[in-house]
Structure 1
Amino acid sequence: MARRLRPVDLGFVGAAPVRLVFAREVSASPEQVFRALAEDLPGWTQWFPTVALARSTDGGAGREIRLRGGTRLVETVLVAKEPEVYAYRVDATNAPGIRALVEEWRLAPRGTGTRVQWTFAADGTAPFRWVFRLARAGLGRTFRDAVTSLDRRLTRA
């Protein structure tokens, strides 16, 4: 069954013991990217390779996420400020070792496109923090591939 995590706020993004930050520029506008992140949750399965299911809960105030491999996440949306920032906190998960986790997506105009920045802010047991830091390269590749796929999806039309 899922374990409850510590309820942190958006300030945790800057104060977390472990922070991984990735950025990439895309052709799509900030508004397009924001809508894909915040409003088209089922669409995440089409562009984010590790996401097997994504759905909105509580009238958009929450999210249910299932990752390939069986990890489940119940989340609360902390901020959805179009087109600048979308962030959510993990409230419960079946993943071991995590005590607190916030993901933040920041979007900034770059020419006719967008600079997308994704921050993982986490706390957990010592083994979790060690593994999380080791996962930086893999998460970076996943982010790069996902955002590239999202950009293709948004600019096809």
Structure 2
Amino acid sequence: MHPCERVGIDFVETAPHRYANSVELAVTPEQLFEVLADADAWPRWASVITKVVWTTPEPRGTGTRRTVTMRGGLVGDEEFLAWEPPRMMSFRFNEASTRTVKAFAERYDVVATPTGCRLTWTLALDVRGPSRLGMPLGKPVMNSVFRRFLRNLRTYTDERFA
């Protein structure tokens, strides 16, 4: 594992590479947080994720840790910067299995709507090495992938809470 910069929650607004996408869900904010707290749910909607393991005991909160394993062998040791159900959560990578990841953080903002809730997911990162050159060109593809994950989340929550 390689150390990543210990960025704060503000990194999702200032990172060199940011991806923000939203989805309308037909579930309550509380139900959405039930899904976000469920380690087994993540691989069901974010297909890049193969395994999530909470490494600190409940209750969840700021400072909670987990390990996320992704396709391609990427592993991230995450620490939650905020855990404020049912409206917001944010985490960063403290370490990653690749040296390419310089800094990484995500923020999930949830707003209640008349038909459920709206989730805005912001992923922010900085990278080292040659990967820096291709990041701007890859933004449309990355946003497309993240929008697909959010559609998958909508399908998953529709089925789980039908």
Into which bin does the TM-score normalised by the smaller protein fall?
A: 0.7 to 0.9
Aligned to 1:87, what secondary structure does the other structure show?
strand
Is 1:46 aligned to residue 44 of structure 2?
yes
Which residue in the other structure is 1:102 paired with?
105
Which letter maps to 2:161?
T
Q: 1:22·1:143 contact (CA, 8 Å) conserved in 2?
A: no
Report the CA distance shift for 1:47/1:86 in structure 2 as closer, same or farther (over 3 A). same
Report the CA distance shift for 1:146/1:127 in structure 2 as closer, same or farther (over 3 A). farther
1:52-99 superposed Cα distances (whole Å, 9 cap, x missing partner) = 101111224101101122111110011110100011101111234221
C-alpha distance in 2 between matches for 1:101 and 1:14: 12
Match of 2:77 among 74, 77, 84: 74
Shift of 1:140: 2.8
Structure 1 gap segments, 5+ residues each: none
RMSD (Å) for aligned C-alpha atoms: 1.8
Aligned to 1:45, what secondary structure does the other structure show?
helix
May I ask how many residue pairs the two structures share in their alignment? 154
Q: 2:81·2:91 contact (CA, 8 Å) conserved in 1?
A: yes
Is 1:148 aligned to residue 158 of structure 2?
no
Structure 2 gap segments, 5+ residues each: none
Which letter maps to 1:35?
E
Which letter maps to 2:118?
R
Runs of 4+ with >4 A deviation: none
Question: Identity of aligned pairs, percent?
Answer: 24
Match of 2:124 among 121, 124, 131: 121
Higher alpha-carbon deviation: 17-26 or 131-140: 131-140
Which residue in the other structure is 2:53 paired with?
55
Aligned to 2:40, what secondary structure does the other structure show?
helix
